[in-house]
Amino acid sequence: MTTTTNDTLIAADSDRGIDIERVFDAPLARVWAAHSRIEQLVQWWGRGNTLDVERWEFRRGGHWRFVEHAEGEAHGFEGRFREIEPERRIVWSFEWDGMPAHVCIDEITFTDLGDGRTKVGTHTQFHTPDERDGMLQSGMESGINDGYRALDALLARG
């Protein structure tokens, strides 16, 4: 399965992964800050919805947990940071309360395109193809696109 919506490419690989790619009209340092500084992250990660940050330990081994509030419901997400290479990549575990104990690993990479734009790529690896397919069927695509539209708005504000 490969879909492209609002310039976001989302593709299931042949095994247990999902690849996501998006180019943002902002320099690398700005896109990195929007992913690493919690005061900026909360403005887009929750798709514009209220986001409670229960934990944010942005360091190797650190724990993060967010609860997004939307349409009268609460949706929790959490994980731990495996690797952080400033302005290059973040590797973290990711678990959604809607699929408890189905932990995946996200590797988020940042590429300076040299023209004031930055490419963000995410490779998500699941334990099984069924877990990957469950996430794809969960509404993940619309959530990613909503979040990236909110990130576009944040980046445009400067």
- pLDDT (tens place) for every residue of the chain, 158 residues total: 444 445 788 888 878 999 999 999 999 999 999 999 999 999 999 888 999 999 999 999 999 999 999 999 999 999 999 999 999 999 999 998 988 888 999 999 999 999 999 999 999 999 999 888 888 887 788 888 999 999 999 999 97
Q: What SS3 state is found at 29?
A: helix
Provide CB contacts within 8 A for 113, sequence distance 6+: 23, 119
What does the pLDDT read at residue 41? 96
Separation of alpha carbons 90 and 40, rounded Å: 16
What does the pLDDT read at residue 100? 86
- Long-range contacts for 100-107 (Cβ within 8 Å, ≥24 apart)? 102/126, 102/127, 102/131, 102/134, 102/135, 103/79, 103/127, 104/131, 104/132, 104/135, 106/79
What does the pLDDT read at residue 7? 76
What is the value of pTM for the model shown? 0.90
What does the pLDDT read at residue 2? 44
**Residue 112: what residue type?**
D
